[in-house]
Amino acid sequence: MKLILVLTAVVLMLGACATGQMPEDRGPTPAQIVKSGTATAPVHWGGQIVRTENLRDRTQIEVLAFPLDGAGRAQTDRPPEGRFLVESPGFLEPHEYAPNRLIEVRGKLSGFRNGQVGEAEYRYPLVMAERLILRAENAHETAPQIRFGFGTSSFGSGSGVGISF
């Protein structure tokens, strides 16, 4: 009986450490930045690429923003949060940074750019990229998970604890 109590306590303590990843505070959304009129803070945003355009010395990516999960992956099953432009120095291959690919962006806001979505005028927050993470196509990325199991035997003596990752 003492062994069962000890094992139960161990499992409960380890279970308390196995919380899922919580999303970090990513600040205001692109739509909130446009509404506020101030675009000078660091951001951690992500979403789905709409288009990629290579300019003379940099690449500009238009992104439809979605909330990020704890692993930084865009949650496309949630409502979009506006659009933003990302600029990265140098050339980025448009085939890799293709429409509908998911991207995670860390950088600093650097004002706004006016553009169009269809025939509608649109004001984009502009992010100067410090880090871009292009998510794998058709890959189901999940955060690491820890599972615990506990078992006993009714025939003879014995008990066990299992941990899987």
**Domains, the chain, with CATH or none:** 30-134 (2.40.50.140)
Q: Round to whole Å and give the CA distance between 8 and 26.
A: 38
Cβ 130 vs Cβ 106: under 8 Å = yes
- Is 102 a residue whose pLDDT tops 50? yes
Cβ 67 vs Cβ 82: under 8 Å = no
The single residue listed with the structure tokens 């189901």 is 140
Where would I find the H helices in 30-99?
30-36
Residue of higher predicted confidence among 53 and 23: 53
How many alpha carbons fall within 13 Å on the CB side of residue 118?
1
- Give the model confidence (pLDDT) of 35-73 as tens digits: 998 888 899 999 999 999 999 999 999 999 999 998 899
Element (H, E) at 17: helix 2-17
- Is 34 a residue whose pLDDT tops 80? yes
State the pLDDT at residue 20: 45
* CB atoms near residue 29 (< 10 Å): 19
- Is 138 a residue whose pLDDT tops 70? no
Q: Round to whole Å and give the CA distance between 49 and 40.
A: 22
Average pLDDT, the chain: 81
- Is 107 a residue whose pLDDT tops 50? yes
State the pLDDT at residue 21: 45
State the pLDDT at residue 40: 85
